[in-house]
Amino acid sequence: MTTLLITTWVGALITLCCFTFLIKDNPFYRFAEHLFVGVSAGYYLSTISFHQVLKPNLLAKIWPTYFASGTAAEATPEYILIIPGLLGLLMLFRFSSNLSWVSRFTVAFVMGVSTGIAVVTSAEQYLIPQVKKAIVPLIVSGDYFGSFSNLVLVVGTVSCLFYFFFSTEHRGPVFGNVAKVGIWYLMISFGAAFGATVMGRISLLIGRFNFLLSDWLHLIK
């Protein structure tokens, strides 16, 4: 139980130190900040990068007998994974000032794969569904308000798209006004998104005060 007690106390002190950020820069915040950065970087280095990515996805596949356990240890090694391993090692040439260009091959490979994926997936997963969402019947039989709402939706999508035109000035009776309507829609949308988020943020603060007042100080149940 002592571990739990120490953890709670350490947690409460760190929490208070972090809250002092709101007042001004001070030694308490500076201490918590540096500790937090150090601990989280250490956690990502050992636990995430090594134990959760490198070990299961690379080492355990190339040398299953050493790094995998259970039935996975008898799997045939996948030597093809040496390629990404080598590409990863090329990145370390950044340490040398003369040979740092070698790491460009890795950068080029990463850029190629990620842009290739982005071209197709952004079209499939976001572009097409969003266009589809904007296509709604303007007349909903017997529901005047529904028809109006659908009109609002279509007009909004089209006018906001006009706002994003770069090759024409937002001027003129048609173009200027449509783009202006687009800005109105954007503003309403930003306000709504802002307002909706307030709640979640306050919930988080409630969670923090619950920790301080109940787990640490036992003032409330």
Partner 1 sequence: MNIFIKLKNLDRRWVFLFVALSVIIPLLFPFALPVVPTKAVANLHKFIENAEALPEGTRCFLSFDFDPASEPELKPSAVAILVHMFRRNLKPICGANWPVGGEMAEVALVEAANAYMSTYEDMKAQGKLAPGCKPIIERGVDYVNLGYKTGAIIHVKALCNDFMYPYPQDRDGNSTAEMAIFRNPDGRRFAMSDVGLIISFTAGTGGIETFISMAGEHKRPMAAGCTSVNIPRFTTYLQSGQLIGMTGGLPGAAEYETLIERPGKGCAGMTPQSIAHLVIMLFIIFGNLAYIAEQRNEAKKKG
Partner 2 sequence: MSIFRRPPRSFVPILALILCALSMSFLMADQTVESTVTEHRQGEAALCCSDHGTTEELTAKPAAEAKPWFAKERKTVLIIIVLLLLFVSYFTFHAQRKELFIRRISGLSALEDAVGRATEMGRGVMYIPGIMDMDDIQTIAGVTIMGHVAKKTAEYDAAFYAPMTRSFVMSVAQEIVKQAYLEKGRLDAFRPDRINYLTDDQFGFVAGVGGIMMREKPAACFYLGTFYAESLILAETGNSVGAIQIAGTAEPSQIPFFVAACDYTLIGEELFAASAYLSKNPREVGSLKGQDMLKLVIIAVTVIGTLLVTISETEFGKGLTPLTESFMQYLK
Partner 3 sequence: MIFLKRTLPLIITFITGMIMIVAFFSGEGLPSIKSLESTLPKWIQIIMTFTMVLGAFSLLRINLQKISRKADGWGYSLVLIIGFLSMAFLGFITGSWPMFDKPLTNGEIYYVLCEDNVSARPIRVIDNLKDKEGKIKVEYVDDKGEKLADTESAMIPPDTARTRNMSYANSMQQILFVGVFKNAQSTMFSLLAFFVASASFRAFRIKSKEAGLLMGSAFIVMLGNVSIGSLVSQILAYIPVIGPYLNIADIKEWIMTYPSSAAQSAILIGAMLGYISASMKIIFGVERSHLGGEG
**Residue 69 falls in which region: left (phi positive, over 0), alpha (psi -120 to 50) or beta:** beta
CA distance 86 to 105: 11
Q: Which residue type is seen at 149?
A: S
Q: x-or-dash pattern for partner 1, window 8-27, by CB under 8 A?
A: --------------xx----
The interface with partner 3 within residues 94-123 (CB under 8 A) comprises 94-95, 101, 104-123
CA distance 221 to 202: 20
Q: Which is nearer to partner 1, 173 or 207 (CB)?
A: 207
Q: Which is nearer to partner 1, 138 or 206 (CB)?
A: 206
Q: Which is nearer to partner 2, 77 or 143 (CB)?
A: 143
CA distance 14 to 41: 17
The interface with partner 2 within residues 4-23 (CB under 8 A) comprises 18, 21
Q: Which is nearer to partner 2, 65 or 96 (CB)?
A: 96
Residue pointed to by tokens 């619950």: 210
Q: Is 71 in the site for partner 3 (CB under 8 A)?
A: no
Q: Which is nearer to partner 2, 78 or 124 (CB)?
A: 124
Q: x-or-dash pattern for partner 1, window 116-155, by CB under 8 A?
A: -----------------x----------------------
Residue 6 binding: pick among partner 2, partner 3, partner 1, none (C-beta 5-8 Å cut-off by kind): partner 3
Q: Output the CA angle 100-106-108, nearest 5 degrees.
A: 105
CA distance 71 to 137: 56
Q: What is the DSSP string of 187-210?
A: HHHHHHHHHHHHHHHHHHHHHHHH
Q: Choose which of 26, 42, 63, 168 interacts with partner 3 (CB under 8 A).
A: 42
The interface with partner 2 within residues 60-79 (CB under 8 A) comprises none
Q: Is 195 exposed, middle or buried (0-12, 13-18, 19+ CB in 10 A)?
A: exposed
Kindly state the smallest distance separating residue 6's Cβ from partner 2, in Å. 21
Q: Is 152 in the site for partner 2 (CB under 8 A)?
A: no
